[in-house]
A and B are shown apart, each in its own frame.
Chain A
């Protein structure tokens, strides 16, 4: 089983839609959960960062972590064409040096 599973998509939605992206993971030692956004031919940029279980909201973005189910989600409200990118979930275990990334989900928001 892969450490982090993420559906690569692509996911195509109309402008204004609510987008739901998610990842599952197998390593219960993961404590820090992140979502990065990557535009074509660019390096990933951090969008959201959460520690352990719970929700975190930042503008149109909400990150959810359910450690009991080993499941994390990113919701994008009122999606915009500028949100079109690849969204990567990422995780770190306590005391770990490395960040492990999911495969990334390609999102297209149509105007």
Chain B
């Protein structure tokens, strides 16, 4: 049983469309993350989320991106107007412990293809 569940596993969308990727971490996770991995490239940090607010974000995470955890369980990543270069695998991750320690538990990923 994975600690972090992501949906959808694969989404194909047209350029300019909005996409929402969903993640359900285990309840005892305190910190939540989105990472992105373009095919054949490194795992890149997008954003971290703690106590219902963004704690840190990368330069990739521009105004087209947003995150929220509206109901205390689902953690979502929204891309408002997708671009071709947003095509990637998006990984949600959760962490139980304090910042700077502890294991990241990754989901299986959501593959986004922008046409």
Contacts and interface: CB of A to CB of B under 8 A. Distances in A.
Interface of A: 31-32, 34, 36, 38, 41-46, 49, 51, 88, 92-104
Among B55, B104, B109, the most chain A Cβ lie within 10 Å of the Cβ of: B104
Interface in B41-97: 41-45, 48, 50, 55-56, 58, 89, 91, 93
Interface residues of B, number: 26
B100 A32 contact: yes
Contacts of B41: 103
Given A42-B109, A43-B106, A43-B108, A95 B99 contact: yes
Given A42-B108, A43-B106, A97 B43 contact: no
B103 interface: yes
A78 B40 CA distance: 27
B108 A96 contact: no
Contact of A104 (B42, B45, B50, B93): B42
B25 interface: no
Contacts of A104: 42-43
B50 A49 contact: no
Given A32-B101, A88-B43, A97 B55 contact: yes
